[in-house]
Amino acid sequence: MAPLNILIGSDSFREMRELHCCYVDKTSFIEEMFGTVPPKVSLITRPRRFGKTLMMTMLQEFFDIRAKERNLFEGLAISQNTRLCDAWMHQYPTLFLTLKGVEGRNFGLALGQMSEVLRSLCIEHAYLLESDKVTPPDKNTFSALYNGTDVEKDLANSLFVLCRALEAHHGKPVILFIDEYDVPINCAEQNGYYKEMIGFMRNMLGAVLKTNPSLKFAVLTGCLRIARESIFTGLNNFKCYGISDSRFADKFGFTSKEVDELLAAAGMPANKKDIREWYDGYRFGRETEMYCPWDVLQYIADLQDDPQTKPQAYWKNTSSNAIVRTLVEKSGPETRRKIEDLITGKSIEERLEEDMTYDMVYKKDRSLWTMMYLTGYLTKAARQPDDGDTTLVIPNKEVREIFINKVSSWFEDTLDIHALQPFIDAFWNGDADKVQKMLKQALYGTISYYDSVESFYHGFLAGLLRGAGADIRSNRENGLGRTDITMEDGLNNRAVIIEVKRAGHYDDLDKAADEALAQIEEKKYAADLPPQIKTVINYGISFWKKECAVKVLESGRP
C-alpha cells in the first residue's frame, strides 16, 4: 500500500491539491454556508491547528474570479452541487489575508508587519494599477500600499480602498477572507499597546465591514470569540460561530469517520486506539466530538517514517499561549486544586463568558477557564448541568501531558526565586528539617499529579535548585550508577548528593528516604567527585503527592 502523501507545514488548498496530497474533504462547508443567503460578516472561532487557514484558502480558490480551472475541486463534495458551483464558483473578486504574523513587540513594529501583509495583497493585485476603471485617488492609495507605506491612515483605509478598486475593475462586489483576526490584538495586549491596536483594528475593520457597498460578504477566523464590542460595534448582520455553536461543528477538525478513512488509506487501522486517546475528545456544538487534524496528520506521517513511533504532544508548540500563562501566574490555591483535579481525570464546573474584550480578561475570575476552553486546553464533558454552568474536562492524553509539563512549569515559575536562597543554604548546612519544610511549601505552592513517577519529582527539585541559582548536575554517572542530583562547591571543598524516591503511600515516606540514603552509599556515588571535595552531604528525599521526607547524612570522602 502506497503511503499517504501528507503535506506538513502548508495551509494552501491549491498547493495541497496540485501536489495530490492528502486532503480531508471539507468543501461541504460551502454548501452549508452559502446554500442560503449568508450573513454579511461571519466570524468563526476554533482553537489553533484545527484547519482554519486551510478552510479560508479553499474558500478563496472556490470564489476567486481570476481562477478559471475547476480541477482543484474535481471529485470533492461541492462539485456534486452543479447549481451552486455555477452560481458561485469563480464569480467574485476575493481578498485573502492572514494576520497571524502581526506580532510586533510595539505598535510601530506591528504596523510595519501589517504594512507587509497589505503590500503582499497589492502585489497580488498589481493589475489594478493599470486598470482604467480604478479612480486616480484609489490608485494613489493603492500605490502607497504597494510601496510599503507605514502611514496609519492609509493602512486603516486599505481594505476599504482595495475592495472599491476590485469592484471597479471586475464589476462585482468583493468577498473578503481575514484569517486569525485576533492575533494582533492578543499580541498588543501582552506587550502594552492594546489601546493603539484596538483603535487601529476598529478603524480598519469598521471601514471595510460596515456600510461598504463594495463588499459582498466577509468571513473572519480566529481562536477567540472576544473583542466583539471593541471592533464590531454597530455592525449589522454579524454572526459568530464559536465552538459552542452546533452549526459547522464538524467542519473544523476531523470526525471519527474521517479518521477511520485516513487510517484505512494509510494501512494503519490498528493505530486508531492511540490516536483516539491522544488526539480526540474535543466537543464542538452540543455533542460533536472532533480530532485535532494537525496532530492526526503529524502522527500518521511519523508512523509512515517509523511504525514504532509513539504518540507525542505535537500541539504544544503551536502557540505562545501568553494570555493563558499570565492567567495561570495570577491564579491562587483554588485554581491549582482544580487543575490537579483535571489532570487526575476529574471534571470541574465553571460559568464561562465567551464574549469579552481583551482588556477585561484579567479582571474576571472566570477568565482562565473561559480562555482554556476557547483555546483548546479544555473541552465540554459529555454530560452538562442545566444551571448555566459548563462541565469542563481535559480532552485527551496530549493535552493532559501539556498540563503536566507546561502548565506545571508555569506554576513553578511563580515561586519567589529570591526566597529560595535559604533553601540552598539549608542544603549546604545539612539542615534536613528546613529543607523538608521549604520543599513542602514549594509543593503546595504549585501543582502536582498523583500518578507521577520519580522523574517528575526529580525534575521539580532540580528546577527549584536551578531557579535559586544553584549549579547542579543531573543524572551524572558516579560510582556504580547515576546520581539524581549533584551540587559542587569547589571553593569550600564540599558537595551535595541527592537521591529522589517516590513513596507508594504517605506512611512509606520515611522508609523511602532511608532507602535513598542507603542507595547513595551502596552505589558509591561520591567516588568520582573531584579530588578537592573533602565533605559530602548526602540527602535521601522521598515524595508522595504533596508530602515529602528528607533524610541527611554528612560524611567525608570514602
Which position has the higher pLDDT, 547 or 230? 547
In a domain, 522, yes or no: yes
Radius of gyration of the chain (CA): 29
pLDDT, one tens digit per residue, over 83-104 is 999 999 999 999 999 999 999 9
The answer to whether the beta carbons of residues 166 and 128 sit under 8 Å apart is: yes
DSSP, res 304: H
Bridge partners of 391, per DSSP, are 349
The answer to whether the beta carbons of residues 55 and 135 sit under 8 Å apart is: no
- Give 306's Cβ-side CA count (13 Å radius): 5
How many whole angstroms separate alpha carbon 236 and alpha carbon 250? 27
pLDDT, averaged across the chain: 88
What does the buried/exposed string (b/e) look like for 410-432 if buried means 16 or more CB atoms within 10 Å of the residue's CB? bbbeebeeeebeebbebbbebbb
How many whole angstroms separate alpha carbon 45 and alpha carbon 239? 11
Q: Own/partner pairs for 206-211, CB < 8 Å, 24+ apart? A: 206/231, 206/234, 206/235, 207/156, 207/157, 207/159, 207/160, 208/159, 208/160, 208/163, 208/176, 209/40, 209/41, 209/176, 209/235, 210/234, 210/235, 210/236
Beta strands 282-284 and 288-290: pairing type? antiparallel
How many whole angstroms separate alpha carbon 190 and alpha carbon 458? 33
How many whole angstroms separate alpha carbon 370 and alpha carbon 395? 15
pLDDT, one tens digit per residue, over 103-142 is 999 999 999 999 999 999 999 999 999 999 999 999 999 9
CA separation, residue 280 to residues 245, 292, 494 (Å)? 19, 7, 52
How many whole angstroms separate alpha carbon 13 and alpha carbon 283? 26
pLDDT, one tens digit per residue, over 334-363 is 887 888 888 888 999 998 887 766 666 776
Same domain, 86 and 159: yes
pLDDT, one tens digit per residue, over 501-522 is 999 999 999 999 999 999 998 8
**Residue 179 dihedral angles phi and psi, to the nearest 5°:** -95, 140
Same domain, 381 and 429: no
Query: Structurally, how many domains does the chain consist of?
Result: 3
Which position has the higher pLDDT, 493 or 160? 160
Same domain, 488 and 343: no
Same domain, 534 and 477: yes
Would the CA dihedral through 75, 81, 85, 88 be positive or negative?
negative
- Among residues 220, 241, 262, the one where a domain terminates is 241
Q: Which H helix or E strand runs over 289?
A: strand 288-290
The answer to whether the beta carbons of residues 329 and 413 sit under 8 Å apart is: yes
Q: Which domain holds residue 455?
A: 417-556
Question: In this model, does residue 81 exceed pLDDT 70?
Answer: yes
Same domain, 406 and 437: no
In a domain, 152, yes or no: yes
CA separation, residue 148 to residues 115, 176, 198, 417 (Å)? 6, 21, 22, 46
The label of the residue with cell 459548563 reads: 390
pLDDT, one tens digit per residue, over 158-193 is 999 999 999 999 999 999 999 999 899 888 988 999
Question: What is the edge-to-edge ordering of all strands in the sheet holding 390-393?
Answer: 348-350, 390-393, 379-380
Same domain, 476 and 398: no
- Among residues 413, 440, 463, the one where a domain terminates is 413
User: How many residues are there in the chain?
Assistant: 558
Same domain, 42 and 97: yes
The answer to whether the beta carbons of residues 371 and 361 sit under 8 Å apart is: yes
Q: Which H helix or E strand runs over 549?
A: strand 547-556
Same domain, 69 and 92: yes
How many whole angstroms separate alpha carbon 526 and alpha carbon 127? 76
The answer to whether the beta carbons of residues 294 and 49 sit under 8 Å apart is: yes
How many whole angstroms separate alpha carbon 433 and alpha carbon 513? 13
In a domain, 297, yes or no: no
DSSP, res 505: S
* Confidence band, pLDDT 50/70/90 cuts, at residue 286: confident
Would the CA dihedral through 57, 103, 230, 222 be positive or negative?
positive
Closest CA to 205 of 235, 164, 241, 175: 235
> Mean pLDDT across the stretch 449-463?
73
Same domain, 63 and 176: yes
CATH number, domain with residue 504: 3.90.1570
Closest CA to 134 of 214, 80, 254: 214
pTM over 0.85, yes/no: no
Query: What is the reported pLDDT for 418?
Result: 58
Same domain, 409 and 499: no
